[in-house]
Amino acid sequence: MAEEILLAVNGTLMRGLALNGNLLAVGARFEREAMTAPCYRLWAIGDVHPAMERVETGGGAIALEIWSVPTVGIAEILQQEPAGLCIGKIELSDGSQVLGVLGEHLCCQRGKEITQFGGWRAYCTAGLPSSP
């Protein structure tokens, strides 16, 4: 069996959304829904995808999904992510940490803050952008 790693995703890689096929194409498996610790801000980048950034103050808990990804597939997934997104450690609400998709500071600062929605799906279903 191939070695796998847990990966937290908070936007268009989630089930049923625009880039979820990128996870499925490398053999990733959905594990569970989760929440981050309340120390992240979420930004809408052109209402096309989100970018999440860890902050010292003013953050909130963000909804995400945890996927089990074959380690050989991580690079392929990253290469297909929009510019300004990267991999880093994400703290979950239970205090554990997993690798996950984060936004570079400059990318986030160019977006519209949507932390108050608690996640990308909630933002999309609020009727603000067209659902991805």
Q: pLDDT of 3-26, one tens digit each?
A: 999 999 999 999 999 999 999 999
Tens of pLDDT, residue by residue over 77-98, are: 989 999 999 999 999 999 999 9
3-class secondary structure, 58 = coil
Domains of the chain by residue range: 4-125
Q: Reply yes or no on whether the pLDDT at 132 is more than 50.
A: no
* Third-level CATH fold of 4-125: Hypothetical upf0131 protein ytfp (3.10.490)
User: What is residue 49's predicted lDDT score, i.e. its pLDDT?
Assistant: 95
| Burial label, 47 (beta-carbon count in 10 A; 0-12, 13-18, 19+) | middle
Q: Reply yes or no on whether the pLDDT at 131 is more than 50.
A: no
Residue of 27, 40, 31, 124 lying closest to 77 (CA atoms): 27
